[in-house]
Amino acid sequence: MSLATVTVATEPPYPVRIGPAALEALPNAVASADRVALLADERVLDLHGASLAALGEVPTLAIGGGEDAKTLGKLGAVLEFLAAAGLARSSTLITFGGGTLADLGGLAASLFKRGMQVVHAPTTLLAQVDASVGGKTAINLSAGKNLAGTFHQPAEVLCDTSTLATLPAAERASGLGEVVKTALIGGEADLALLEAQADGLLAGDAAALAATVTSCVTVKARVVACDPTERGPRRGLNLGHTFAHAIEHVAGYGAVPHGVAVAAGIGLALRASAELGLLTDPALEARIRALLERLGLPADLSALRQSSGLALPVDELMAGFAHDKKGAVGRPEFVLVSGAGALELGVTLEVDLLQSLLA
Amino acid sequence: MSLATVTVATEPPYPVRIGPAALEALPNAVASADRVALLADERVLDLHGASLAALGEVPTLAIGGGEDAKTLGKLGAVLEFLAAAGLARSSTLITFGGGTLADLGGLAASLFKRGMQVVHAPTTLLAQVDASVGGKTAINLSAGKNLAGTFHQPAEVLCDTSTLATLPAAERASGLGEVVKTALIGGEADLALLEAQADGLLAGDAAALAATVTSCVTVKARVVACDPTERGPRRGLNLGHTFAHAIEHVAGYGAVPHGVAVAAGIGLALRASAELGLLTDPALEARIRALLERLGLPADLSALRQSSGLALPVDELMAGFAHDKKGAVGRPEFVLVSGAGALELGVTLEVDLLQSLLA
C-alpha cells in the first residue's frame, strides 16, 4: 500500500503522509534540520522504536503518555532536554506517540528559543485523525484542560497506520470518537464512507484504517488551512468538545478517554440541536447515535455514566463549562449541527436546556 | 507635559504612549476587555499603585521583580492566576513593573487559552525603552536566559516616565545600557541627542527621560514593525546581547543587571568590529566608550570585572555562548557595527578573536 499525502495549506504548507510505512519518510522529513531530537512515549518506543532506526542515534526523551504528560512540570522537562541536547532554532523535534505527546512536544517546540520546527509521528488513531494536524499545542492547568498552549504548525506529519495494530482497544475506541466527529463535519460523503468501513475499523483492517485516517485528515486540513488560529470556521472542529472538556474535567483527566468524552459530547450536541429545531435532516440524530453505538461509543451521558461507572453530577458538569476556552467570560460556546457537514458555531445555550441535557 | 505616542506598525498596530502621566490612559487601554487582571511587581505596586486607582478593583497577582520572576514555576503561577480570575480570550492582562514582569506576563498572556491580550505598563527605564515594546516574551531555563518564549505583541504600552523617579540608581544605569545600544542602532541623530541629554538623564530630569524614551521607542518600533519575528533586520537589536547573555549566564542571573552586561557587550562588539576592520568611522569606538563611561557603565570586560567584583573567566564565557538563541548549533552569532546606524548581522567570530576579546 503506498502513502497518501494530504497537504495542509497553511503558510507555509506542510504534508501529512498516511499509510502503513509512513515512518520510512522520517529521515527525509528532518533532512534540513541541523540537529534532531526525539520526544517519545516510552511504551511506543518499546513497540515501534525499530521503525526509527534509519534516523541513527538521536537525543531521546522517553516519557509516559496520556494526560499526565500534559503538565507544566513535563513541559519544563522537555524544554530543559532540548537545551541539554544543544538544539538551535534551526533544529527539529520529532514527537512519537499519541496526541498528548504531540500537544506537549509541539508546545515545547514553539517555545524553545521562541520557535523551532516539530515533526509529528502520531501512533494513535486519535492523534492521526486529529491531534497531530492543525498546530494546536497545549498543557492542562488545574482549572481545566488545554488551558495553556500555542498555535504552532508542524513541518510534517507522518501517520504510520501500522502502529495502530498494537493500539489497545480502549485507545482505538477513543480515536473513533474523533473520527465520527470529523465525518459529521465533513459531510454526507465522509459519513457514508465511515458507515461503510465501520466493521473494518473495529476489526483493525489496515486498508480501512488508512482510508479513514486519510478522509479525516483531508477534512481537518481543509478547515485548518482557512482558519489556522481558530477565529472563525475552525471553531467547528470543537463539535462535542465543550461538553467533552467539562466531562473530562469532572471525571479527572485521563479517567474518560478524550474521544469517548467527545462521542458523548456529539450526542449531546445533536440532542441540543434537535431541541432547538436546528436539524434540517430529522434522521441525522438517530443515524449518528447508531454509528456511535456500533463503534462501541457512548451516544449520551447515561451510556457514558454506565460504561465509566462515574456519577458525573449535573452541577459539577455545569461548573466545568466555566473554563471553555472559546467563549467570553461566563458564556460557554457550543457547536451545534443542522445537517451532515452543516454546523452552527458559537451557540450559547440556556441554563435550563443545559441542565436537562446533562440530567 | 503631554503624552507622546509612537505607533508600532505590526499587524495589528499598537500605540506606545510616553510621558509623566501615561498611566491615566490605562482605563481606556483596557476598555474593550470583558475582564481585566493585573500582574504587578510588589515593590512597584507599593510605590505607584495609587496611579491605577481609576481601574477599580481588579484581580491582582503581586510578585517580586528581577530575573527570579522568569522561571517556569512563576509562569505556572501566573497561568493558574489567570484561570482562577476567570479570564477569557477576550480579557486583558496588565503588567506593571520592569522588563521581567513584561516578559513573564506577556508569555503567560500568549499561552492562556492560546492567546489573550496584554497591556504593558513598564516602570523601569530598561522596560520602557526596550523590553515592553516588540512582543518578545520569555522565561529562563537552567541552560540559559530567555530560552523559552513567544512573540506576542501587546495591545498597548504605557510608559509613565514619572515612575522612573523612584528607580534605584543601579536600575537606571541598567536601562541606560539599552539606551546607548538603541541610539547606536538608530544613527547619528539619536546618538547626538543622547549625548546632549546624558547629564539630564543622570540627574533624573523628567524632560530628558521622556525625550530619551520616545527616541528609543521610535527606533525600536521602526525595526520591530518590519520584522516582528526576528528573521531579518530585527536581529540588529541584539547588538551587544550575545556577549551580554554569556556574561549574565556566567555571573548567575541577576548578579549583573541586564543593561550593564549589554553595555560591556556593546564595548566588545565595537572592539571586534574594529579588529575586523569593519568600522568606517574610526572615532566611533572611542566616542561610544566615552558615552558609556559618562553614564557610569562598563565599556569593556575589565571595567565590568572591576565594578562587579566577579572573575567572569574566559572559558566559562566561551561556554556561555553555547546557548545563543540566534545562531545554528555551535555557531553563536554576533551583531557588529560599521558606523552609527549601520550594523553587520549574523557575524560568526573566530575562537582566537573571541578569546582575546574576553581576556
Probe site for chain B from A90, A103, A112, A114 (most B CB atoms < 10 A): A114
Which residue of A75, A148, A329 is in closest CB contact with B88?
Answer: A329
A325 in contact with chain B, both atoms CB, cutoff 8 A: yes
Q: Which positions ≥6 away from A98 have C-beta within 8 Å?
A: A41, A44, A65, A66, A122, A123, A124, A126, A127, A131, A171
Question: Are A103 and A252 found together in one domain?
Answer: no
Yes or no, beta carbons of A111 and B83 under 8 Å apart: no
In whole angstroms, how far apart are CA B199 and each of B192, B300, B304?
Answer: 13, 22, 22
Domains in chain B, number? 2
Does A96 map to a domain? Answer: yes
Produce one character per residue of A160-188: b if its CB has 16 or more CB atoms within 10 Å, e if not.
Answer: bbbbbeebeeebbbbbbbbbbbbbbbbee
Domain that holds residue B128: 4-167
Question: Are A135 and A268 found together in one domain?
Answer: no
Going by C-alpha positions, the residue among A248, A265, A251, A328 that lies closest to residue A301 is A265
ipTM of model = 0.91
- Summarised one tens digit per residue, pLDDT across range B58-93 is 999 999 998 889 999 999 999 999 999 999 999 999
B244 to chain A, closest Cα gap in Å: 16
Confidence (pLDDT) at A173: 85
Residue A302 main-chain phi, psi, to 5 deg = -65, -40
Question: Are A231 and A133 found together in one domain?
Answer: no
Question: Are B342 and B195 found together in one domain?
Answer: yes
Exposed, middle or buried: residue A341 (CB in 10 Å: 0-12, 13-18, 19+)? Answer: middle
Yes or no, beta carbons of A141 and B229 under 8 Å apart: no
DSSP labels for A297-333?
A: --SSHHHHHHHH-----HHHHHHHGGG-SSSBTTB--
Does A209 map to a domain? Answer: no
Diameter over CA atoms, chain B: 59
For residue B1, pLDDT beyond 90? no
Yes or no, beta carbons of B75 and A72 under 8 Å apart: yes
In whole angstroms, how far apart are CA A83 and each of B72, B145, B230, B251?
Answer: 14, 11, 20, 19
Which residue of A34, A72, A142 is in closest CB contact with B328?
Answer: A34
Question: Are B156 and B71 found together in one domain?
Answer: yes
CB A262 within 8 A of CB A244: yes
- Model confidence at B34, pLDDT cuts 50, 70, 90, reads very high
Q: Which residues of B are catalytic, by number?
A: 114, 136, 178, 220, 230, 234, 238, 241, 245, 258
A113 Rama class: left (phi>0) / alpha (psi -120 to 50) / beta: left
Under DSSP, is residue A95 helix (H, G, I), strand (E, B) or coil? strand
Confidence (pLDDT) at A66: 86
Going by C-alpha positions, the residue among A296, A267, A257, A299 that lies closest to residue A99 is A257
User: Which residues make beta-bridge pairs with B7?
Assistant: B15
CATH number assigned to the domain comprising residue A301: 1.20.1090.10
Last residue of a domain, one of B147, B167, B187: B167
Which residue of A114, A229, A322 is in closest CB contact with B325?
Answer: A114
pTM for the whole structure: 0.92
CB A234 within 8 A of CB A227: yes
Last residue of a domain, one of B141, B167, B193: B167
Contacts of B83 in chain A (CB under 8 A): 141-144, 147, 323
Confidence (pLDDT) at A185: 96
CA–CA gap between residue A162 and residue A291 (Å, rounded): 25
A143 in contact with chain B, both atoms CB, cutoff 8 A: yes
A144-148 vs A139-141, strand pairing mode: antiparallel
Does A162 map to a domain? Answer: yes
Does A192 map to a domain? Answer: no
CB A229 within 8 A of CB A151: yes
Question: Are B198 and B343 found together in one domain?
Answer: yes
User: Which residues make beta-bridge pairs with A93?
Assistant: A37, A118
Question: Are A9 and A156 found together in one domain?
Answer: yes
Question: Are B217 and B293 found together in one domain?
Answer: yes
Does A87 map to a domain? Answer: yes
Q: Nearest 10 degrees: CA dihedral of A201, A202, A204, A208? A: -10
Neighbours of B222 (CB within 10 A): 15
N-terminal to C-terminal alpha carbon distance within chain B? 47
CA–CA gap between residue A130 and residue A113 (Å, rounded): 27
Question: Are B60 and B24 found together in one domain?
Answer: yes
Going residue by residue through chain A (359 aa), what tens digit of pLDDT does each one get?
579 999 999 999 999 999 999 999 999 999 999 999 999 999 999 999 999 999 999 999 999 998 889 999 999 999 999 999 999 999 999 999 999 999 999 999 999 999 999 999 999 999 999 999 999 999 999 888 899 999 999 999 999 999 998 898 888 888 999 999 999 999 999 999 999 999 999 888 989 999 999 999 999 999 999 888 888 889 999 999 999 999 998 998 779 998 999 999 999 999 999 999 999 999 999 999 999 999 999 999 999 999 999 999 999 999 988 767 766 667 889 999 999 999 999 999 999 999 999 99
Confidence (pLDDT) at B99: 94
User: Which residues make beta-bridge pairs with A97?
Assistant: A122
Yes or no, beta carbons of A138 and B114 under 8 Å apart: yes
- Summarised one tens digit per residue, pLDDT across range B145-181 is 899 999 999 999 999 999 998 898 888 888 999 999 9
Question: Are B97 and B220 found together in one domain?
Answer: no
Which residue of A88, A325, A328 is in closest CB contact with B327?
Answer: A88
CB B297 within 8 A of CB B212: no
- Summarised one tens digit per residue, pLDDT across range B301-348 is 999 999 999 999 999 999 988 767 766 667 889 999 999 999 999 999
Confidence (pLDDT) at A307: 94
Last residue of a domain, one of B167, B190, B218: B167
CA–CA gap between residue A263 and residue A170 (Å, rounded): 13
CA–CA gap between residue B131 and residue B151 (Å, rounded): 12
CA–CA gap between residue A217 and residue A170 (Å, rounded): 21
B225 to chain A, closest Cα gap in Å: 18
Yes or no, beta carbons of B114 and A136 under 8 Å apart: yes
CATH number assigned to the domain comprising residue B56: 3.40.50.1970
Yes or no, beta carbons of A91 and B142 under 8 Å apart: no
Q: Which positions ≥6 away from A74 have C-beta within 8 Å?
A: A63, A68, A104, A139
In whole angstroms, how far apart are CA B8 and each of B17, B94, B127, B317?
Answer: 11, 18, 16, 35
Long-range contact pairs involving B242-246 (C-beta distance under 8 Å, separation at least 24):
B242/B321, B242/B324, B242/B326, B242/B332, B242/B333, B242/B334, B242/B335, B243/B268, B243/B269, B243/B334, B245/B144, B245/B145, B245/B146, B245/B320, B245/B323, B245/B324, B246/B317, B246/B318, B246/B320, B246/B321, B246/B324
CA–CA gap between residue A313 and residue A175 (Å, rounded): 25
Confidence (pLDDT) at B253: 77
Going by C-alpha positions, the residue among B58, B113, B46, B107 that lies closest to residue B83 is B113
Does A219 map to a domain? Answer: no
Q: Which of the two residues, A54 and B1, has the higher pLDDT score?
A: A54
Does A188 map to a domain? Answer: no
Exposed, middle or buried: residue A355 (CB in 10 Å: 0-12, 13-18, 19+)? Answer: middle
B284 to chain A, closest Cα gap in Å: 32
Element (H, E) at A41: strand A36-41
B74 to chain A: closest CA residue: A72
Residues in chain A: 359
CA–CA gap between residue A249 and residue A243 (Å, rounded): 10
Residue with cell string 435550563: A352
Produce one character per residue of A264-298: b if its CB has 16 or more CB atoms within 10 Å, e if not.
Answer: bbbbbbbbbbbeeebbeeeebbeebbebbeebebb
For residue B96, pLDDT beyond 80? yes
Going by C-alpha positions, the residue among B78, B83, B48, B50 that lies closest to residue B63 is B78
Question: Are A18 and A114 found together in one domain?
Answer: yes
Question: Are B113 and B51 found together in one domain?
Answer: yes
**Average pLDDT value for chain B:** 94
N-terminal to C-terminal alpha carbon distance within chain A? 47
CA–CA gap between residue A98 and residue B159 (Å, rounded): 46
At A149, which amino acid appears? G
CA–CA gap between residue A219 and residue A233 (Å, rounded): 12
Does A196 map to a domain? Answer: no
Confidence (pLDDT) at A283: 95
Give residues 2 to 61 of A whose Cβ lies within 8 Å of B: 34-35
Q: Which residues of A are catalytic, by number?
A: 114, 136, 178, 220, 230, 234, 238, 241, 245, 258
Neighbours of A60 (CB within 10 A): 18
DSSP labels for B235-304?
A: GGGGTTHHHHHHHHHHH-TTTS-HHHHHHHHHHHHHHHHHHTT--SSTTHHHHHHHHHHHTT--SSHHHH
Which residue of A83, A142, A323 is in closest CB contact with B147?
Answer: A83
CA–CA gap between residue B128 and residue B217 (Å, rounded): 8
Gyration radius of chain B over CA positions: 19
